Amino acid sequence: MSLLCDTRLPAIQLVTVCKSYPSAAGSVPVLRDVSLLLQKQALTAVMGPSGSGKTTLLNCAAGLDQPDSGKVILGATDLATCSERELTVIRRQRVGFVFQQFNLLPMLTAYENVALPLRLQRGRVPRNLVTEALRQVGLEDKARQRPAQLSGGQQQRVAIARTLVGEPEIVFADEPTGSLDRRSGRQIMGLLRDTVDRAGRTVAMVTHDPVAAAYADRVVFLSDGRVVGQLDHPTADKVAQQLSMWDQ
Ligand code: ADP
Ligand code: MG
């Protein structure tokens, strides 16, 4: 059973976050007063129509992008008080990313892809850490394969291993099943669920798929840059029902 205990410090807190981008027609608001708690050791799904600000929200929460106003607090760290150098350390060591297109380096083997962040972080890479990360995603026998020799689902599992090996406080996944067939998508969701339940990690993910969202502890609905709803202990049916409400 996963924990959604409100008395502990959340993994991330967003407080009235606003963000706009410039456009030819003037400044366009993308996040409007977004306040949100992402609980530790929980899987939170963010849903909403294309262009509703989901990726911007994740990027602001992870310190990759900066809000125009409002606060992002990672653990006990207010990101607005961090220097560029401190933010770089946070991006490398405290948060991890999983992308829709996997973003593996094609010239490197699965093993080398997983080892890369550790190599950049620490220089020497303990072999057992990499092997263990590959084992956790069920790919220890694919260590020598290059991405092109792996299926989409296997590539995403390598990408997850690459993220987990750095032991981030929070894993952000932007549509991690968006390029996968249904079966591989379920496998990826099972893995993300396991990293919360067994490894005690925190995951925030964007998805369009109500079945994927049903793996979450909580679903947050965004529409036009605003949080318009939340659903705890979601089922695919309840999620689909909520989505049809916001789509109208
Ligand atoms: P979502 O992930 O929900 O599809 P995004 O957060 O990617 O939405 O984008 C929300 C809005 O912000 C879109 O209208 C998009 O065009 C705009 N946007 C996102 N990133 C930038 C950027 N770097 N520069 C200008 N506009 C951007
Ligand atoms: Mg997006």
Ligand 1 in reach of 53 Cβ (< 6 A): yes
- Average pLDDT (24-43) is 95
Asked whether the predicted pLDDT for residue 211 surpasses 70, the reply is: yes
Tell me, what's the pLDDT at 121?
Answer: 80
- Per the DSSP assignment, residues forming a β-bridge with 27 are 22
Asked whether the predicted pLDDT for residue 35 surpasses 60, the reply is: yes
Tell me, what's the pLDDT at 122?
Answer: 77
Which numbered atom of ligand 1 lies nearest the CA of 58? 6
Asked whether the predicted pLDDT for residue 6 surpasses 70, the reply is: no
Q: Give dist(CA 44, CA 172) in Å, integer.
A: 10
Q: What is the dihedral of CA 57, 106, 133, 167, to 10 degrees?
A: -30
**What is the phi-psi region of residue 16: left when phi exceeds 0, alpha when psi lies from -120 to 50, beta otherwise?**
left
What are the residues whose beta carbons fall under 8 Å from the beta carbon of 141, sequence distance 6 or more?
none
Please give the biggest Cα pair distance in the chain.
54
Asked whether the predicted pLDDT for residue 1 surpasses 50, the reply is: no
Distance from residue 225's CA to the centre of ligand 1 (Å): 10
Question: What is this structure's pTM?
Answer: 0.93
pLDDT single digits (tens) 180-194: 999 999 999 999 999
Q: Give dist(CA 232, CA 218) in Å, integer.
A: 4
Tell me, what's the pLDDT at 40?
Answer: 95
The hierarchical CATH code for the domain 40-52+83-247 is 3.40.50.300
Asked whether the predicted pLDDT for residue 97 surpasses 80, the reply is: yes
Tell me, what's the pLDDT at 5?
Answer: 47
Tell me, what's the pLDDT at 245?
Answer: 83
Tell me, what's the pLDDT at 139?
Answer: 97
pLDDT single digits (tens) 40-79: 999 999 999 999 999 999 999 999 999 999 999 999 999 9
Asked whether the predicted pLDDT for residue 235 surpasses 50, the reply is: yes
Average pLDDT of the residues of the chain: 93
Distance from residue 201's CA to the centre of ligand 2 (Å): 23
Which numbered atom of ligand 1 lies nearest the CA of 22? 25
Tell me, what's the pLDDT at 177?
Answer: 97
Distance from residue 176's CA to the centre of ligand 1 (Å): 18
Beta strands 12-23 and 26-38, pairing class: antiparallel
Asked whether the predicted pLDDT for residue 158 surpasses 80, the reply is: yes
pLDDT single digits (tens) 114-153: 999 988 887 888 899 999 999 999 999 999 999 999 999 9
